[in-house]
Amino acid sequence: MGSIQDIKVAVDAVVFGYSSKNILSVLLIKRGVDPFKNTWALPGGLVLDDESLETAVQRELKEETGVTIDYLEQLYTYGKPGRDPRNRVVSVSYFALVKPHHFKIQANTDAAEAQWFPVNQLPELAFDHNVILETAKQRLKAKLTYQPIGFDLLEKEFPFSDLEHLYTSILEKNIDRRNFRKKILSFDILEETNKISQKGSGRPAKLFKFNTKKYNSLLKEGFHFEIKFV
């Protein structure tokens, strides 16, 4: 006797946002339809018969938030029975890390609103999206130990403290600043410029920029970066 199967495939997108000196945020939509109408959720939806998973997640993200991202990294697949009250739905989740001000968000289709939320001030989420989001946060934290992050998130030239702030925002912990600086500089992905930052009332700080060639090399090869906390 053959098995009977009636399973739908969906995609969900966890889009993290980061701007210099700001806390890590995540892009959410308020559902305009049942189930979970008027509840915040991750952008996403069902995969159409004629599209790939990658095309589907980019389409859903564009339709529900107005955001276009060329590349999202596949995160995890969620298929627990009952995760969607309408049908048996298996969802393939994706995540990305972007600069929020590069995008003009605009809700459409079955999304009533779209908004950035600080990761430490999140509303109640629909379905099992809190589980998906937590998985994405842990993946992002782990990513810091084997891949450099910051090239597309920091200004072209920046004080070293901006890079420290990026890492502490993602890790949600205070790092050993002296050890962090020593280890990061040892990878030769930063170049010290002859410019000085005059921002704020604090002591002027030297500006750095990424060595594009070395950064891209480590991005492909990966690196081992053990981060110490205080």
Select the more confidently predicted residue: 154 or 1. 154
Q: Which of 34, 14, 44, 215 is nearest to 134 (CA)?
A: 14
**Predicted local distance difference test score (pLDDT) of residue 1:** 56
Q: Are 125 and 133 spatial neighbours (Cβ–Cβ below 8 Å)?
A: yes
For a pLDDT cut of 70, what percent of the chain falls above it? Answer: 97
**pTM for the model:** 0.92
**Predicted local distance difference test score (pLDDT) of residue 222:** 84
Q: Which domains does the chain have, with CATH numbers?
A: 8-137 (3.90.79.10), 158-221 (1.10.10.10)
| 197-222 mean pLDDT | 86
The answer to whether residue 113 is catalytic is: yes
Question: For the segment 138-194, what is each residue's pLDDT rounded down to a tens digit?
Answer: 999 999 999 999 999 999 999 999 999 999 999 999 999 999 999 999 999 999 999
Is a pLDDT exceeding 80 seen at residue 202? no
- Say which DSSP state 226 is in: P
Encoding tokens for residue 226? 């053990």
Is a pLDDT exceeding 90 seen at residue 21? no
CA Rg value for the chain: 20
Question: For the segment 123-153, what is each residue's pLDDT rounded down to a tens digit?
Answer: 999 999 999 999 999 999 999 999 999 999 9
> Which of 63, 73, 113, 164 is labelled catalytic?
113
Question: For the segment 76-106, what is each residue's pLDDT rounded down to a tens digit?
Answer: 999 999 999 999 999 999 999 999 999 999 9
| CA 221-19-30 angle, 5° bins | 105
Which residue type does 135 have? T
Q: Buried (b) or exposed (e) across 175-207, using 16+ Cβ within 10 A?
A: beeeebbeebeeeebbeeeeeebeeeeeeebeb
Residue 19's pLDDT band (cuts 50, 70, 90): confident
| 204-211 mean pLDDT | 93
Is a pLDDT exceeding 80 seen at residue 200? no
Residues facing 210 on adjacent strands: 190
Mean pLDDT computed over every residue of the chain: 93
150: left (phi over 0), alpha (psi -120 to 50) or beta: left
Cα 96 from Cα 103, distance rounded (Å)? 14
- Say which DSSP state 144 is in: T
